[in-house]
Amino acid sequence: MYDKIILALSLEHGIAAQALETAQCLGGANAEIIAVHVYEPPSGSVSAYLDKELVQQAFEDAKSKLHERVEGTPNVTPVILKGHSSRTITEYAAEIGADAIIVGSHKPGLSDYFLGTTAARIVRHAPCAVIVLR
């Protein structure tokens, strides 16, 4: 059993219910489950053309959506981070001393074999166990 589990959530995909159930099973009643979404701000060249208030509103919307997704689920703390998804999740796992990361994955396409998916990068660089859900 794991004491501190990061549940990496993409707000665009519907795997949250399965992932939450898996986290609760792997952690038991006293586990700390941290639902993490990484908000990737627009790149430098794109952000030059975007209104700062619009970018901030998109961040706040993502934060709200994350809170709604885990609302009412015991022992789950929502955390939103900014940065590159895989790198930010693995760094956060090391920072908080996570025992496991649960991440969803999709069926890889040709480009994923060359670039690597977020899940694959997390598996390669995580400082703890990683459970990948399809």
pLDDT in tens, 1-34: 899 999 998 877 655 778 888 888 898 788 999 9
> Would you say domain 4-133 falls under CATH 3.40.50.150?
no
pLDDT value for 14: 59
pLDDT beneath 50: ranges in the chain: 115
Residues 101, 127: Cα–Cα separation, whole Å: 9
Rounded to 5 degrees, what are φ and ψ at 92? -65, -40
- pLDDT at residue 28, rounded to an integer: 79
pLDDT on residue 47: 64
The amino acid at residue 125 is H
CB burial class (10 A; 0-12, 13-18, 19+) of residue 78? buried
**pLDDT for 99:** 96
Specify the 3-state DSSP secondary structure of 63: helix
Q: pTM value?
A: 0.86
Domain ranges of the chain: 4-133
